[in-house]
């Protein structure tokens, strides 16, 4: 089919048509393109709007939530210590099943927390373990250390390797240097292992996969041609070397830098936005570039892909934050976020108060531990 001329037509303040057909009759592809580019600009604007909201989340986390979590960790540790004291010092009489349930519960806490503070938790682990449990743990540790020596040629103490608490930065640095070579060898081994797994899984390609790759390569080739066409036409208009006006030369220079970067990154969405800026800057010298509908459809697909990437990056940035795990709304606004953060802060304070209450009750009335055991069992905790 014949190519259609590309012109910029201002309809009103809210809608600018990037492509128009002959006699201003847009094709379906041109309409889809305009809608896609408009949506792309909306998402870009939204990404800038939510930056202050992200700062609000981060500030709330650092200044209000994190200090409360630190309090909870200290209280949790204190609660564990008091519970161990009640059990090990026999401050209270327990039935056989109650005693075993409590011992296993506290031993699990030790196992989960020992890397946080080995010196603190290991002393309780040694008292809570049975002889058989200790022998099994030590046997597993020795077997693992033996496998490491066979595989990598290093004598490793796993308890020391996994240490995270140090008395000084000098001790931490010394520890890192001690195991540096082993960690490097281990990371190299992991990398080679996963590379091998991927190559095995991708060594045999189906006919459908090969056809899909062929289409992708052809699409990229056509896209490259379209990008070069646009680049050449735009570069002729905004090359700063031939511009006499100093202000205009500076603006052209900035646009040229952006255009070159967009061309190098094959970013058609950015190039098309630069085209709009050029048309604004030079209304009497607009780019006279025509494309078949097949090219325009390709642009639409690429811009929609860029929109998805932008939306995903916004979601990823927000919802990867530890404070946003339970955010219920799909759309992030200042109002919904403020209400959510207020609830999170309130809930966090309530958790701290619950820990304080438990520690106080266990200290004053050791028999309260029996109520805790019943509650844990009613929640389905089993060993």
Contacts of 125 (CB under 8 A, 6+ apart): 107, 110, 111, 114
Higher-pLDDT residue of 339, 197: 339
Over the chain, what is the mean pLDDT?
82
Contacts of 381 (CB under 8 A, 6+ apart): 105
**Cα(103)–Cα(111) distance, integer angstroms:** 12
Beta-bridge partner residues of 303:
none
User: What pLDDT, on a 0 to 100 scale, did the predictor assign at position 289?
Assistant: 55
The helix/strand/coil state of 88 is helix
Q: Once rounded to an integer, what is the mean pLDDT over residues 164-168? A: 80
Long-range (24+ apart) CB contacts under 8 A made by 363-366 are 363/82, 366/86, 366/91, 366/92
Is 154 in contact with 182 (CB distance < 8 Å)? Answer: yes
Q: Once rounded to an integer, what is the mean pLDDT over residues 323-333? A: 83
Q: Kindly state the helix (H) or strand (E) to which residue 180 belongs, with its residue range.
A: helix 169-202
What's the number of CA atoms in the CB half-sphere (13 Å) around residue 366? 14
Please state, for a pLDDT cut of 70, what percent of the chain lies above it: 86
Contacts of 21 (CB under 8 A, 6+ apart): 4, 27, 30
Q: Once rounded to an integer, what is the mean pLDDT over residues 218-246? A: 80
**Cα(274)–Cα(37) distance, integer angstroms:** 12
Q: What is the band of 204 on the pLDDT scale with cuts at 50, 70, 90? A: low
What's the number of CA atoms in the CB half-sphere (13 Å) around residue 133? 11
Of 1-5, 142-146, 163-167, the range with the lowest mean pLDDT is 1-5
User: What pLDDT, on a 0 to 100 scale, did the predictor assign at position 24?
Assistant: 39
User: What pLDDT, on a 0 to 100 scale, did the predictor assign at position 75?
Assistant: 96
What is the chain's Cα-based Rg? 32
What's the number of CA atoms in the CB half-sphere (13 Å) around residue 143? 6
**Cα(44)–Cα(36) distance, integer angstroms:** 12
Q: What is the band of 68 on the pLDDT scale with cuts at 50, 70, 90? A: very high
Task: Report which of 175, 174, 152 is spatially closest to residue 163, judged by C-alpha positions.
Answer: 175
User: What pLDDT, on a 0 to 100 scale, did the predictor assign at position 371?
Assistant: 93
User: What pLDDT, on a 0 to 100 scale, did the predictor assign at position 165?
Assistant: 75
pLDDT digits (tens, 9 = 90+) for 368-377: 999 999 999 9
Task: Report which of 321, 347, 319, 346 is spatially closest to residue 331, judged by C-alpha positions.
Answer: 319
**Cα(72)–Cα(347) distance, integer angstroms:** 12
Residue 265 CB burial class (10 angstroms; 0-12, 13-18, ≥19): exposed
pLDDT digits (tens, 9 = 90+) for 90-120: 888 999 999 999 999 999 999 999 888 888 9
The residue to which tokens 């070159």 are assigned = 260
User: What pLDDT, on a 0 to 100 scale, did the predictor assign at position 374?
Assistant: 93
Task: Report which of 14, 18, 15 is spatially closest to residue 26, judged by C-alpha positions.
Answer: 18
Q: Residue 240 has what DSSP assignment? A: G
The residue to which tokens 């939510």 are assigned = 50
pLDDT digits (tens, 9 = 90+) for 17-65: 444 433 334 567 777 877 887 888 888 888 888 889 999 999 999 999 9
């Amino acid at each position: 089919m014949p190519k259609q001329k590309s012109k910029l037509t201002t309809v009103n303040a809210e809608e600018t048509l990037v492509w128009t057909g002959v006699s201003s009759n847009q094709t379906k592809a041109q309409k889809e393109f305009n809608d896609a580019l408009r949506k792309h600009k909306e998402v870009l604007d939204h990404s800038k709007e939510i930056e202050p909201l992200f700062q609000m989340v981060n500030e709330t986390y650092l200044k209000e939530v994190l200090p409360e979590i630190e309090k909870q960790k200290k209280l949790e540790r204190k609660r564990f210590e008091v519970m161990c004291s009640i059990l090990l010092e026999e401050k209270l009489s327990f039935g056989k099943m109650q005693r075993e349930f409590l011992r296993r519960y506290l031993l699990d806490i030790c196992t989960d927390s020992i890397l946080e503070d080995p010196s603190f938790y290991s002393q309780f682990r040694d008292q809570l373990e049975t002889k058989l449990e200790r022998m099994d743990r030590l046997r597993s540790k020795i077997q693992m250390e033996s496998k490491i020596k066979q595989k990598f040629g290093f004598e490793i103490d796993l308890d020391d390797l996994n240490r995270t608490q140090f008395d000084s930065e000098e001790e931490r640095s010394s520890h890192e240097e001690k195991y540096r070579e082993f960690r490097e060898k281990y990371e190299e081994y992991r990398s080679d292992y996963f590379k091998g797994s991927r190559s095995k899984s991708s060594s045999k390609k189906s006919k459908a996969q090969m056809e899909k790759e062929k289409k992708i390569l052809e699409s990229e080739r056509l896209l490259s041609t379209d990008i070069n066409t646009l680049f050449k036409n735009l570069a002729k208009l905004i090359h700063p070397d031939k511009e006499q006006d100093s202000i205009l030369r500076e603006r052209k220079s900035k646009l040229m830098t952006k255009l070159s970067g967009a061309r190098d990154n094959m970013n058609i969405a950015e190039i098309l936005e630069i085209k709009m800026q050029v048309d604004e800057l030079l209304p009497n010298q607009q780019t006279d570039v025509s494309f078949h509908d097949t090219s325009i459809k390709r642009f639409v697909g690429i811009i929609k892909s860029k929109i998805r990437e932008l939306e995903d990056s916004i979601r990823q940035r927000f919802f990867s934050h530890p404070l946003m795990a339970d955010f219920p709304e799909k759309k992030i606004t200042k109002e919904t976020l403020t209400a959510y953060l207020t609830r999170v802060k309130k809930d966090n304070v309530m958790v701290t108060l619950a820990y304080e209450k438990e520690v106080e009750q266990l200290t004053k009335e050791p028999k309260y531990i029996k109520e805790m055991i019943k509650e844990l069992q009613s929640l389905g905790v089993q060993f």
